[in-house]
Structure 1
Amino acid sequence: MSRSYLVFDIETIPDTSLGAKYYNLKDLSEEDIAKLMFFKQRQERQTEFLPFVFHKIVAISVLIANGEEIKVVSLGKDIHDERGMIQQFFDGISHHKPTLVSWNGKGFDMPVIYLRAMHHKIQASYYWQGDQSRDFQFNNYVNRYHERHIDVMDVLAGFQNQGRASLDHVSVLLGFPGKIGIDGSQVWKKYSEGAYQEIRDYCDTDVISTYLAMIHFQHFRGLIKTDELKKYELSLEQYLSNSKKTHMESYLDHWKK
């Protein structure tokens, strides 16, 4: 792979400040505001999954891959540093000029990032315009069918909603770990319990799985040879083994058992 890849994932919780303002709630705890937000959504849409505008980002993880060199980073100072996470994310894009890779990133992650970036008054001129690069007319980060951002889930589904598969299911299909420990539906519960690092670690493992799905997809397309695929997998194994981080070592153990 001659290109630089930036694989990313976000985790979110209800924006209880916005919920309190929108529903005119006073003197309620975060937990009670969130409960009411979920209740309202259940009444209106028969689901607790909130509209994108009511999501607040608590984790952004990225995996940066340049050939066989790999690095996984959890952005921001901590789980409360939403502005820092988003600023680092767009700064990384401007610096590395990578191909973005995600799992439902065009359908969820980026729309949420857009809204939260605007909330924090963050600018991202390179992401939107490529510093006026002519190439961006024909291959940019925003167009659903362009390859400067590869949403692996969307491509594998043939750009059809009914064809979408979960990262968990595809991971198991391809022979690497599915969800370990928690999944996205438990993030608010973990946040309420103060399990902040567990959320960031979970986000890290999702970008690792997305990276693996991506290189298998590139192999399927004929852009990576079989021996190269094995090299990239081995490089990832070595990175996880040398990370000295429990969640990455656990991922490797589940992968290789």
Structure 2
Amino acid sequence: MTEKVAHFIFDVESIADGELIADVRYGGQGLSPEEAIATYQDELVEQNGTTFIPYTYQIPISVVIAKVARDFSLIDIVSLDEPHFRPHVITEHFWRGWEMYGQPQWVTFNGRSFDLPIMELAAFRYGISAAKWFKNDGYRSPRNRFTTEAHLDLQELLTNYGAARCNGGLNLVAQLVKKPGKMDLRGDQVQQQYDEGKLTEISDYCRCDVLDTYFIFLRSMVLMGKTTIDNEMQLVQKAKEWIQQRADTSEAYTAYLNAWRDWEKPQDKTVEKAKAAAESETPETSEAAETSDS
């Protein structure tokens, strides 16, 4: 029997809608979609030092979801509508899949501010119903920011809903648990990758972000007392084996494994250092130490 999916850990990569930008920001100027994007990015660099366009002007081009069981074990990872990556199909599969699997908990990193809003706006854009997500159930409503039953944003968990700042973001938190973090691509480079036709590379980047988020999720479950550190380490090892079994079919998995590091318990490191020091101690140094003590 297939194990029930309890959590959907996901990440979204998106591109700018040049026609929308031209209509909203530069109406009547006759800019092409490409020119509108370039003009807006120039403005953003001058204002904010980044070319990343706000999600309201974007559409999803890659959504990768990790299916995770109730015991937090990794079941599968899928890239929606691969290899076609059609935004309207991705959006349809995203919301219908959530319903089909019994509305598992969404798990994201900064998904409250970006990933879920862009998928909600995409559903609005393409005329897709997400009635169960938008239902009004008081405090337990799925979209209520302060209930994690429907959506656990790991960045909000770690910053107490923005009371502190997560400087370093996903990359930093992933590396705290010795996982690869950001490798060859950044979110603000996705537009260029898309323009160059590198759709699979975008999906691979998204896939690696989902893996990082999964391992951050596991440590967060330890933090919240929902599992133990020993069980987390076992789950990490099983997930590594899962990735290894699929490395031949995915460049993303190969790259992730090449950057892999194993997290070790701090006390284990201390013991190992003590053992190493004891083993390196020669009879002469031991005799000298005894003479000094006497």
Between the aligned partners of 2:7 and 2:183, the Cα distance in structure 1 is: 24
SS in 1 for 2:113: helix
Between the aligned partners of 1:139 and 1:227, the Cα distance in structure 2 is: 32
Q: Which amino acid in the other structure matches residue 85 of structure 1?
A: I
Between the aligned partners of 1:69 and 1:160, the Cα distance in structure 2 is: 29
Which whole-Å deviations, capped at 9, do the CAs of 1:42-71 have from their partners, x for residues lacking one?
A: 566665433332112111111111132421
| Pick aligned residue for 1:16 from 2, 15, 18 | 18
Q: Is the 8 A contact 1:59 1:79 kept in 2?
A: no
Deviates more, 1:55-64 or 1:160-169: 160-169
* Per-residue deviation, 1:138: 3.8
Q: Is the 8 A contact 1:3 1:99 kept in 2?
A: no
Q: Which amino acid in the other structure matches residue 218 of structure 1?
A: M
Identity of aligned residues (%): 24
Deviates more, 1:229-238 or 1:103-112: 229-238
Q: Larger relative contact order (C-alpha < 8 A, sep ≥ 6)?
A: 1
The answer to whether the aligner puts 1:242 opposite 2:245 as a matched pair is yes
Between the aligned partners of 2:56 and 2:163, the Cα distance in structure 1 is: 21
The answer to whether the aligner puts 1:150 opposite 2:156 as a matched pair is no
Mark the CA change 1:27 to 1:151 in structure 2 (over 3 Å): closer, same or farther: closer
Paired position in structure 2 for 1:98: 104
Q: Which amino acid in the other structure matches residue 117 of structure 1?
A: A
* Per-residue deviation, 1:79: 5.4
SS in 2 for 1:70: strand
| Pick aligned residue for 2:59 from 48, 56, 67 | 56
Q: Is the 8 A contact 1:41 1:49 kept in 2?
A: yes
Between the aligned partners of 1:226 and 1:104, the Cα distance in structure 2 is: 24
Paired position in structure 2 for 1:89: 94
Mark the CA change 1:81 to 1:250 in structure 2 (over 3 Å): closer, same or farther: same
Q: How many residues align?
A: 251
Mark the CA change 1:94 to 1:59 in structure 2 (over 3 Å): closer, same or farther: same
SS in 2 for 1:100: strand
**Cα root mean square deviation, aligned:** 2.3
Mark the CA change 1:7 to 1:229 in structure 2 (over 3 Å): closer, same or farther: same
Paired position in structure 2 for 1:253: 258
The answer to whether the aligner puts 1:127 opposite 2:133 as a matched pair is yes
When normalised by structure 1's length, the TM-score is 0.89
Q: Which amino acid in the other structure matches residue 141 of structure 1?
A: P
| Pick aligned residue for 1:194 from 184, 194, 197 | 197
Q: Which has the larger Rg?
A: 2
Between the aligned partners of 1:229 and 1:111, the Cα distance in structure 2 is: 30
The answer to whether the aligner puts 1:114 opposite 2:120 as a matched pair is yes
Q: Is the 8 A contact 1:13 1:187 kept in 2?
A: yes
* Per-residue deviation, 1:121: 0.5
Paired position in structure 1 for 2:292: none
Deviates more, 1:103-112 or 1:19-28: 19-28
Between the aligned partners of 2:163 and 2:115, the Cα distance in structure 1 is: 16
When normalised by structure 2's length, the TM-score is 0.78
* Per-residue deviation, 1:27: 6.3
Q: Is the 8 A contact 1:93 1:127 kept in 2?
A: no
The answer to whether the aligner puts 1:216 opposite 2:219 as a matched pair is yes
Between the aligned partners of 1:53 and 1:104, the Cα distance in structure 2 is: 16
SS in 1 for 2:89: helix
Q: Which amino acid in the other structure matches residue 6 of structure 1?
A: F
Gaps of 5+ in 1: none
SS in 2 for 1:127: coil
Mark the CA change 1:247 to 1:45 in structure 2 (over 3 Å): closer, same or farther: closer
Q: Is the 8 A contact 1:79 1:200 kept in 2?
A: no
* Per-residue deviation, 1:137: 3.6
Paired position in structure 2 for 1:31: 34
Between the aligned partners of 2:239 and 2:52, the Cα distance in structure 1 is: 33
Gaps of 5+ in 2: 263-294
